[in-house]
A = this chain, B = another copy of it.
Amino acid sequence: MAAATITRKLPSLSGDLHHHQNPLEENPFFHPSNGFYITPSDVVLAQVVYDLSADSQPRVAYHRAGPRREILYEASAVKAAIVTCGGLCPGMNTVIRELVVGLWELYGVRQIYGIPAGYRGFYSMEPVELNPKLVHDWHKKGGTVLATSRGGFNLQKIVDAIQLNGYNQVYIIGGDGTLRGAVEIFKEVSRRKLEVGITGIPKTVDNDVGIIDRSFGFQTAVEMAQEAISAAHVEAQSAVNGIGLVKLMGRSTGHIALHSTLSNRDVDCCLIPEMSFYLEGKGGLFEFLEQRLKERGHAVLVVAEGAGQEMIPRSESQKQERDESGNAVFLDVGVWLKSALNEWWKREHPGELFTVKYIDPTYMIRAVPANATDNSYCTLLAHSAIHGVMAGYTGFVPGPINGNYAYIPLEEVAQTKNEVNTSDPKWAWVRSVANQPDFDKKF
C-alpha cells in the first residue's frame, strides 16, 4: 500500500492581523517543551480501517488541534462571544466554562461574553459578562446557564450584532441546524471582510454529526438511558406478559438506542430509524414478541424516537403540520407502539393478561450534568477550539478524529450525517444479543 495524503484546507483570517508570540511561551507553568506546539504539517488521518487488497485512494487528513507557536490575536484586543443553541445536552456548561477559563488563563483574554437564549440573543438580549470565578462550578450543572432556544436565526441581525458589539471571536455551540447557520455567519462575516474567527462546536446528544468520533454528552446519555431500560425490564418482569417499552432520543439516527442496547443485556428488540420494520405477519414485530413472551413471559423494547415514523397514521392536520425547518413533524412512536401493541393483544388474546409500560426518559437524560468521560471530552474540545481560533483559523469545527483532536472545515461537518451502519458488526452484535428479527422481507 502506498497512497498520497490530502489534508483538508482550513479557512483562516486574512493577514491584516499581526502575528504574536503565543503567551503560553511566558506561562510560568507550561514551559512548552520540544514538540509542544502543533504545526500546520501535523495532521490526523481520517480513515484508519483499510482493505489493503483494494486500496488506492488518497488518504484524507485533518489539521491537528492544539496550540500554535504564533497566534493572530493580542489578548487585550480579543472580544469573544459564546452562544448555545437548540436542545439540551450534557456538557454544554462544561464547554462554556472551559472556553472562559481557557481564554482567560491561557491567553489572558478578559472580554468574554455569553449570548443568552441562542441565536436570537445576539440581537434581542443583553450579553452576559463571563469570567472564571462566575463559571467556576458550571461543569457540575446540567443544561446551559446561558439558556438556549430553537430558531431565531436572522443572519443579518446576527452579523450586525457581531459587528456592532465588536466581537472578533464567536464560539457557536449547537446541532446540525445551528452549524448550518454558523456556516452562513462565517460566509457573511467574510463577505463583510470582518476579522472575526468563527468556530462551531457540535452539540448533539443524538450523535448524528459526521466525521468526528462522537459528540459530547452522548456517553452520559447512554449511561443515563440504562436507568430507564432497567426500570422497563423490572416492570416487564413483574407482570404477566409484560412489555417494557422505552423511547430514546434519536430523530434520524439510532446511536443512543443502539449503544444503550449494547451496554445493557436486557433488551429484546431495538428499533432505529436506519432500519425499517413492520408489525404484522411473518418476521414482523408482533410475531417476534409473541414468541418471546411465550419463552420468557416478558420482553423489553427500545425504540429511537425517529423509528417507524412512516408507519404512524397521521391525521389530516398532522399531515399539513411542518416544524420550524419545514419538515413533517415527528409523531410519538412510543405512544403509537403502545397502543398498537395493546390492540394487537386484545385481538389475538382476548381476556389474557397483558401490560405495556411505556417510559419516555428524554428530559431526565438530557438535563443531567456530564459524566467524567464527557467532562474530559468537553475540556479538551473547548481548549482545541480556543487554540484554533487564536491561531487565526475560522469557519472550522474542533473535534476528535480517531481519538485525536483535529480541525475540520465547518462546511464539511454541516453537510455530513452520522448514521448507524446497519451492516457494521456492532449492529450484527446487537441483533445477536437480542435474537431479534431483521425485518427484511427479502429473506
A240 contacts B117, CB within 8 Å? yes
- Report the separation of the CA atoms of residues A423 and B37 in the bound assembly, to the nearest whole angstrom: 10
A39 contacts B64, CB within 8 Å? no
State whether the Cβ of A392 lies closer than 8 Å to any Cβ in chain B.
no
B402 contacts A48, CB within 8 Å? yes
B61 contacts A105, CB within 8 Å? no
- Report the separation of the CA atoms of residues A49 and B42 in the bound assembly, to the nearest whole angstrom: 7
CB-contact partner of A260 in B30, B372, B402, under 8 A: B372
CB-contact partner of A423 in B36, B141, B239, B431, under 8 A: B36
> Shortest CB–CB separation between residue A42 and chain B, in angstroms?
5
B380 contacts A67, CB within 8 Å? no
Contact with B along A427-443 (1 / 0, CB 8 A): 01101110111101001
> Shortest CB–CB separation between residue A398 and chain B, in angstroms?
13
Which of A168-176, A227-235, A311-319 interfaces with chain B?
A227-235
Contact A423 to B35, CB < 8 A, known contacts A360-B360, A403-B402: yes
State whether the Cβ of A154 lies closer than 8 Å to any Cβ in chain B.
no
State whether the Cβ of A1 lies closer than 8 Å to any Cβ in chain B.
yes
State whether the Cβ of A237 lies closer than 8 Å to any Cβ in chain B.
yes
State whether the Cβ of A394 lies closer than 8 Å to any Cβ in chain B.
no
> Which B residues are CB-close (under 8 A) to A145?
237-238
> Which B residues are CB-close (under 8 A) to A402?
48, 402-403
Contact with B along A26-62 (1 / 0, CB 8 A): 0101111111100101111100111111100001010
A232 contacts B363, CB within 8 Å? yes
Which of chain B's residues has its CB closest to A357's CB?
Answer: B363
Contact A52 to B7, CB < 8 A, known contacts A359-B363, A367-B234, A443-B31: yes
A227 contacts B423, CB within 8 Å? no
Q: Which residues of A contact B (CB under 8 A)?
A: 1-5, 7, 27, 29-36, 39, 41-45, 48-54, 59, 61, 64, 66-67, 88, 97, 101-102, 105-106, 116-117, 136-137, 139, 141-145, 147-149, 213, 219, 222-223, 225-228, 230-232, 234-235, 237-240, 259-260, 262-265, 297, 353, 357-361, 363-364, 367-368, 371-373, 375-376, 379-380, 383, 401-404, 423, 425-426, 428-429, 431-433, 435-438, 440, 443
